[in-house]
Structure 1
């Protein structure tokens, strides 16, 4: 199973969640929200075969932590994954759109100058601007749009850039989310949970819950769950070939 977007360091007992993932053979991309969290978060993957750590600066924090971009740039050589980064145009954060964009574009530019990275990207309420930036920096083919919630036309624009998408149980609970997922090229879809932020009832989703997303995708694709899981694994394998050293 694959959880390509999870805030592993923010669980109540992250070491136990990491150990459970390793024991179950769940591939996890553990994202960070600020560069200063990198060292502690990366430590959760130490000695683990299935956990990779992404270096990020969340758009909701960009206006408070923009001074950490230089730290992120110094850490770039330590990982082949960048995230969570992106833009957030929701009402609570759209007033910070200018600084978000400066941070996002600087990160993309710096990473592309280092040979590119695999990106996991936040685009809530800002899909059009995100796609424009990805096109500008020519990084669509290694960019994974996490929990995409844009319009159908924005989805088409992202597909045209050869972007990837990660979908989770929370996204697939809504009619809109299922509708968007059904239109995504199935060879560019991965599963995620966005745990512990995303929840199922009163409990946070954990990486093991990525199987729920795989089961939902099987229904959308009209295939068996085993076939859906096999497709998602093939997709991950293909994505990892696009950046040397990412596997």
Structure 2
């Protein structure tokens, strides 16, 4: 089995193809899919998808692009929304200084509220970090000082310093199709260096299709291509990477069942 730990099945790109997407993922050995929230208010949309497929789960949270729109949804509200058995993570939340579509103070406020929710529930925080390495490291270190929380830096594209500081705090790091791009030598060097028990793979679909499918709509079945490059980068077999990243996933996303019903 392999896992797509981060995609966005509620996005319009997938609206007319959900059954096909899940079937193709299953055919490629993708045994679990987590569809990630970008607006906490839209959790019902994600739950409708997650409840439709045994192998699909979801998170609840507010993307930094939307932080200023959902500052009224604080830690208490986030925690309450995790009661549903299909909600297995908090986020994605964090900092995005590339687009800066939300004021930076709003991004930080929202991020800290999500961290507190992860700390309280024990559910993993899915962290978005883009062009914000210094502030991200600062906040993670400050918040860890208040109490540890499980988390993953998703779609990692930051520098080595952020990666190693995150690892030192106990976080995991997840890679997308960006790892497969010809220009991603520095990212592959980081991926080769990380501890084996802290790495995950994801698609972030419908975006960031791996090299083999570059320019096409990404989908969960393509996570296999990223895993192949991660295996090559680390000098191990595909089966070893699949097994390791899947075990890492279940350990971090501990609310996701290891066994599904016979109909799954």
Structure 1 length-normalised TM: 0.87
Q: Per-residue CA shift, 1:131-173, capped at 9, x if unaligned?
A: 3333333376621101222221221111101110110122331
Q: Which runs of 5+ in 1 are unaligned?
A: none
Q: Which moved more, 1:7-16 or 1:158-167?
A: 7-16
User: Which of 202, 210, 217 is the aligned partner of 1:192?
Assistant: 202
CA contact (8 A) 1:215 1:225 kept: yes
CA contact (8 A) 1:58 1:83 kept: yes
**Change over 3 Å in CA distance of 1:140–1:14 after alignment to 2:** farther
Matched, 1:126 2:132: yes
Alpha-carbon RMSD: 2.3
Q: Which moved more, 1:223-232 or 1:18-27?
A: 18-27
**Change over 3 Å in CA distance of 1:2–1:98 after alignment to 2:** same
Correspondence for 1:15: 18
**Change over 3 Å in CA distance of 1:246–1:142 after alignment to 2:** farther
CA contact (8 A) 1:7 1:195 kept: yes
Q: Which has the higher helix share?
A: 1
SS at match of 1:196: coil
CA contact (8 A) 1:83 1:121 kept: yes
Matched, 1:43 2:51: no
SS at match of 2:82: helix
Shift of 1:209: 0.5
Shift of 1:66: 2.6
CA contact (8 A) 1:8 1:18 kept: no
Distance 2:57 2:25 in 1: 12
Paired residues in the alignment total 242
**Change over 3 Å in CA distance of 1:95–1:196 after alignment to 2:** closer
Correspondence for 1:107: 114
CA contact (8 A) 1:147 1:171 kept: no
SS at match of 1:176: helix
Correspondence for 1:3: 4
Structure 2 length-normalised TM: 0.82
**Change over 3 Å in CA distance of 1:23–1:215 after alignment to 2:** closer
Correspondence for 1:145: 153
SS at match of 1:67: coil
Distance 2:102 2:88 in 1: 31
Correspondence for 1:155: 163
CA contact (8 A) 2:179 2:229 kept: no
Matched, 1:219 2:229: no
CA contact (8 A) 2:124 2:150 kept: yes
